[in-house]
Structure 1
């Protein structure tokens, strides 16, 4: 039963990647860096630091690998559990480790539980949203003063919500409208 839960959480993570890759028009390198940064943020909260963690993301397959690197120290001399591992624990991973060597061990992200996975999804969603806002801003920032045609989607008291040809939502404030014009849903 425990194995199935872990598999379900792993599938949930993979579905998250696919969802962001498919629904958002983001290039591969940006997606990889956003995923890595999101993992690092969550792992930094869990371990206190992410500087000794390697995150390898493969968005095509929808999978990832995380490794934590720690230095082997004598038994009982561990000062920072995140960056150091005692000799006896290191030898449980591989018997021929010696003091001073670096141990790179895989981190099972699913073992941190649903809260960490939800935090990752939220971090990822907010970073993707930030990218979308930046892309939309960059698209229109050089077009100040130009007329843009869009369809009226919704009319409110102080502003009109428009949708452009790429389904981006744009707001036309009352101060930018021609006073005598009336806008109706569906009009261009």
Structure 2
């Protein structure tokens, strides 16, 4: 064993601690790097083994040769006769180790150490980061904003690694500042030739779902269930909720006293507006609720085609559509139905009129009146807006 003036074990230990890398993995990488460097630069074709004692720092570089009767490759073998002079107990097939010249390996060791700390350590760090976060996809973490680049990407520090927030995953209009701490949704962790890529998001609807659970105890304990979320980050979201306890108002629980609960949620999202609506197992009622605050009329739903035609009076038209089509677009995403808004003449209650016609038909007072009422209702109506669940924000 040879102990050089420079203690590689201490140096590697300090680096491992500073970079949060497993010490033994780094030492193993150093040994492999030194063996490769020595073989390549000093003893080509020879089998080299390197051992670094992690406690004492003693470094040993050895040439390994197989004991044979007749030497066929002097680089890899030693004859039995020569071997017996060194060790009377050796036999054919055994391996013998011979230390290399100290001056040679000291120079190569320094070169290998540099290579290890710049290449192997980087690879080890990448594996540490990947292993740290590969099982944390789908979680919400608190991260520190670090920097941005000229492509509009922001980078946030997670602890062991750095995640990227591309423009599409940012909240439009939100001003991020280096040093600020923000909550992010860990969307994807994948390996690439340049190391692990961690994709974070502040625009994902699952971040909103997490915040609702954090701020609303009834959601966290399952009394109030979040059935669906439709989100256009930074502007507006719709959340459909349902209570499993008849004594608990799901909308009131989410809003909180004077809106304190929902305000805590929106405060984390740059004051994004969050509408809380009641989920209903009845498709027509769910679509009606999703289009609020507009008051719409008759709804014809085709569940098998995931399509619905909704009548709306002129005075409710702008509310139903929303600014830039946002209200109907969010309603379509929330319900999963393609919604066709049709403007019709103003009457007091379109649904009531239709229901009365259907009742008349059932009672035999006016056969066909329901269909007649339906036909009359849509005769002069016109389609004014259509939205599908997969429509993108304008």
TM-score, normalising length: structure 2? 0.37
User: Are positions 1:150 and 2:143 aligned together?
Assistant: yes
CA RMSD of aligned residues (A): 3.7
- 1:94 to partner: Cα distance: 5.0
Q: Is the 8 A contact 1:21 1:59 kept in 2?
A: no
2:196 counterpart residue number: none
Q: What's the counterpart of residue 4 of structure 1?
A: none
Preserved contact between residue 72 and residue 103 of structure 1 (Cα < 8 Å): yes
Query: CA deviation digits over 1:9-29, x for unaligned, max 9?
Result: 741645543443442333344
Q: Which piece of structure 1 moves more, 60-69 or 28-37?
A: 28-37
Measured against aligned partners, the alpha-carbon deviations of 1:128-167 in whole angstroms (never above 9, x if no partner) come to 2111111211222222233221111223332112122x26
Decide whether the 8 Å contact of 2:12 with 2:27 is kept in 1. Answer: no
Change (3 A) 1:174 1:124: same
Does residue 1:185 correspond to 2:178, yes or no?
yes
2:56 equivalent to 1:58 = no
* Structure possessing the higher relative contact order (Cα contacts under 8 Å, 6 or more residues apart): 1
Q: Which residue of 2 aligns with 1:163?
A: 157
What are the ranges of 5 or more consecutive residues in structure 1 without an aligned counterpart?
Answer: 1-6
* Aligned counterparts of 1:113 and 1:53: Cα–Cα separation in 2: 15
Pair 1:30–1:65, CA change in 2 (3 A)? same
Q: Which residue in 1 is equivalent to 2:44? A: 48
In 2, Cα distance between the equivalents of 1:148 and 1:111?
50
Cα deviation code 1:20-70 (max 9, x no counterpart): 3442333344234223222222233132346x3332221222222122123
Contact 2:146 2:155 (8 Å CA) reproduced: yes
Greater helix share, structure number:
1
Residues 132, 160 of structure 2: 8 Å contact kept: no
Assess if the C-alpha contact under 8 Å between 1:155 and 1:183 holds in 2. Answer: no
| Equivalent runs, 1:69-88 vs 2, <5 Å | 69-70=64-65, 80-84=73-77
What is the CA–CA distance in structure 1 between the aligned matches of 2:169 and 2:37, rounded to whole Å? 42
Question: In structure 1, the residue corresponding to 2:140 is in which secondary structure?
Answer: coil
Structure 2 segments unaligned to the other structure (5+ residues): 182-394
Q: After alignment, is 105-114 or 82-91 more displaced?
A: 82-91
Higher strand share: 2
Structure 2 distance, partners of 1:36, 1:13, is: 10
TM (norm. structure 1) is: 0.68
Determine the C-alpha separation between the residues in 1 that align with 2:54 and 2:7.
Answer: 14
Q: Which residue of 2 aligns with 1:24?
A: 19
The count of corresponding residues between Structure 1 and Structure 2 is: 177
